[in-house]
Amino acid sequence: MSLKGLIEVARGDARADLIFSNARIVNTFTGEIEESSVAVYKDRVAGIGDYSDARRVIDLGGKFLAPGFIDGHFHLESTYLHVDQFARAVVPRGTLAAVTDLHEVTNVAGLEGMRYIMDCARRVPVDLFFMAPSCVPSTSMETSGATLEPSDIRKALRWKRVLGLGELMNFPGVINADPHVLEKVQAARGRPKDGHAPRVRGKALNAYLSPIIGSDHESTEYEEGLEKLRRGMRLMIREGSAEKNLEEMLPLVNDGNYHRCMLVVDDRSALDILEEGDVDAVVRKAIRLGLNPVRAIQMASLNVAEYFHLEGLGGIAPGYYANMLVIGDLNALDIQQVYYRGRLVAQDGKSSFTSTMPANQAITRTMRVKPFTTANLALAAGAADTFPVIEIVPGQIVTRRLDERPSRSNGTIVADPAKDMLKLVVVERHHSTGNIGIGLVKGFGLKKGAIATSVAHDSHNIVAAGVSDDDIYAAIKEVEGNQGGLAVAADGKVLASLPLPIAGLLSQEPLETVAAKIKELERLAVELGCKVPSPFSILSFLALPVIPELKLTDMGLVDVMAAKLLEMV
């Protein structure tokens, strides 16, 4: 792009490549609707005003023209999609830029895995930006496939499009001034640093924010979010597949703080993107809940761009990238056309681009499970009458701890579907350690069978929940045999599975195929009695030892707020 040529078009002395006439422009800078024309030169907006001379003129006839959405916090791995299919999924939905913390694939394959995804991202019409993972692993209470030291973070921060430090999940490490954690924080001095501070309040929050951690996406309660805003954090309000925080957090947004709030998805599966949408679904729901449409769009575009210093993104203005959405009804947010850098890339919900991803054999053979049998899945009863049980909280990834009297058989604790109490198992899959964590979970509703997945935040060992050890074993072995993925088993047999061979996290299949398989797996889970939506997304977070209250890793049960493994007697 010639800057001289851009300026000449802006002055009206040269012909534009494209003009959108009779547009109602969503002005994210002033919060108003502006009626005018937009001139585009190459990949940039040249000007707004009385322009008519162009190689092509599109008369919008009063339709709205809005900047492309920017997802300020998402994890590619939670979509189960490779980069090309992720782009096919989200671009027609209006997402034209996104910031991702690739700590999932990095936990499996280290910086090599992160670099691979970054290389693939250059091939799609989405501006993907990255955060250097701060917590690989997130804690010492699980076995990860890789470890990033401060020197690795400094290396990643030198890469183009790496913006800052990814979410600091080890909040106890920051609060207690762990030297190793602080060295990582110091490596990102002057860069955006994303937070992860579920239920951290008061003086603990003050301590956590001392290194100037800029954002938080883990707030689930109104007062928690308000305190974080008051202490200088930017609030990322998320609405993912398993994390439903929008209704609770949206009432926080007002004229005084909206510019410090963002709408994000965090974790959303391919099926949910295909059927409901991506950032557009969050924006649409916010509008439905009463938020002004222009403000909702600001919170999903300009606010994100300003936090991450993404020059040229987030608005429609001279010199900005021509990433724009043509919308018929602003309240319904019916996105009719999507333009990326001045080029039409999607229309009426369908993408109009193709891309191919390079192969990398190093991250397609990552399942290294030490052989085990169903006998290794037995849970010793111990001397205590009660046992700590993980209780699912509907619509959240936080859990509750219950201490209940479980059912016993031959000196072992067993699942009891009548009490909605399933066995939960985490099998280490990176280094053949033979570690198997075993516990109990309440809230799935399964009456028979088992479900399993290798998408198990953040270290991505294999996690399974089920009624019988035979079914749990069958589901886990299917995931292992597929080099990762999702599986449902019953009566000792595998009913269906979705292979995720790229780091055990991503599929090589088309979007529609992945979504169809997820739908089939979820249907089978419902037939087995499952009563929660997105059961595999919920399952994936039960092994995350940085989200309260009680979680299970390959090393055992974790009391998250105390940051310690429970000693079972």
Each residue of 105-120: pLDDT tens digit? 999 999 999 999 999 9
For residue 356, pLDDT beyond 90: no
Per-residue pLDDT tens over the stretch 449-475:
999 999 998 899 999 999 999 999 999
Omega prior to 549 cis, within 30 of 0: yes
* pLDDT at position 397 over 90: no
Instruction: Identify the H or E element spanning 407.
Output: strand 407-409
Residue 89 is encoded by which pair of tokens?
Answer: 């999924």
pLDDT in tens, 289-330: 999 999 999 999 999 999 999 999 999 999 999 999 999 999
Min mean pLDDT across 279-283, 332-336, 532-536 is at 532-536
Average pLDDT over residues 390-406: 92
Under 8 Å CB-to-CB from 215, ≥6 apart: which residues? 72, 73, 192, 194, 195, 233, 234, 235, 236, 262, 307
Give the pLDDT confidence score for residue 528 in this predicted structure.
Answer: 98
Is residue 522 a contact partner of residue 508, using CB atoms and an 8 Å limit? no
Q: What pLDDT score does 383 carry?
A: 80
Residue 193 CB neighbours (<10 A) = 22
Q: Are 62 and 32 in contact (CB under 8 A)?
A: no
Q: Of 521, 127, 70, nearest to 265 (Cα)?
A: 70
What pLDDT digit, counting tens, does each position of 544-562 carry? 998 899 999 999 999 998 9
The average pLDDT across 194-198 equals 94
pLDDT of 253 above 90:
yes
User: For residue 496, what are its two tokens?
Assistant: 């269906």
Which of the 8 DSSP states describes residue 233?
Answer: P
| 3-state secondary structure (DSSP) of residue 45 | strand
Cβ–Cβ < 8 Å for 447, 529: yes
Query: Which pLDDT score is estimated for 500?
Result: 97
* Mean pLDDT score, 184-211: 95
Could you give the domains of the chain?
3-62 (2.30.40.10), 70-309 (3.20.20.140), 364-565 (no CATH)
Measured between alpha carbons, how far is residue 207 from residues 173, 180, 212, 419 in Å?
11, 16, 10, 41
Share of the chain above pLDDT 70, in %: 100
Contact 544, 458 (CB under 8 A): yes
Residue 408 has pLDDT above 70, yes or no: yes
- Cα separation, 505 vs 348, whole angstroms: 30
Instruction: Give CA 331 to chain center in angstroms.
Output: 26
Backbone angles phi and psi of 537, in degrees to 5: -65, -45
Please determine, for residue 382, whether its predicted confidence score (pLDDT) is greater than 90.
no
Per-residue pLDDT, averaged over 141-154, amounts to 95
Over 80: is that where the pLDDT of 210 sits? Answer: yes
Chain centroid to Cα 471, Å, comes to 29
Residue 533, preceding bond cis, omega within 30 degrees?
no
19 vs 140: which has the higher pLDDT: 19
**pLDDT at position 347 over 80:** yes
Spatial distance between the Cα atoms of 563 and 380, rounded to a whole number of angstroms: 24
Look at residue 362 and tell me whether its pLDDT is greater than 80.
no
Residue in 263, 292, 294 with CA at minimum distance from that of residue 280: 263
How high is the mean pLDDT of the chain? 95
Identify the pLDDT of residue 321.
98
311 vs 563 pLDDT, higher one: 311
Q: Which segments of 308-449 are extended strands (E)?
A: 324-327, 335-340, 343-347, 350-351, 379-380, 387-392, 399-404, 407-409, 412-414, 421-427, 436-442
Of the listed ranges 23-27, 478-482, 533-537, the one predicted with least confidence: 533-537
Whether the pLDDT of residue 40 is over 70: the answer is yes
d(CA 254, CA 272): 29
Residues 276/241, Cβ–Cβ less than 8 Å = no
> In the predicted model, what is the mean pLDDT of residues 12-18?
97
Write the DSSP string, 266-324: BS--HHHHHHT-SHHHHHHHHHHTT--HHHHHHHTTHHHHHHHT-TT-SS--TTSB--E
**pLDDT at site 432:** 97
Q: Residue 361 above 80 pLDDT? A: no
At residue 569 the predicted structure's pLDDT band, cuts being 50, 70 and 90, is: low
Q: Where are the alpha helices (DSSP H) in 158-250?
A: 171-175, 179-187, 202-209, 222-230, 246-249
Q: Which of the residue ranges 193-202, 351-360, 492-501, 518-527 would you say has the lowest mean pLDDT?
A: 351-360
> Which pLDDT score is estimated for 394?
86
Residue 395 has pLDDT above 90, yes or no: no
| Average of per-residue pLDDT across 65-87 | 96
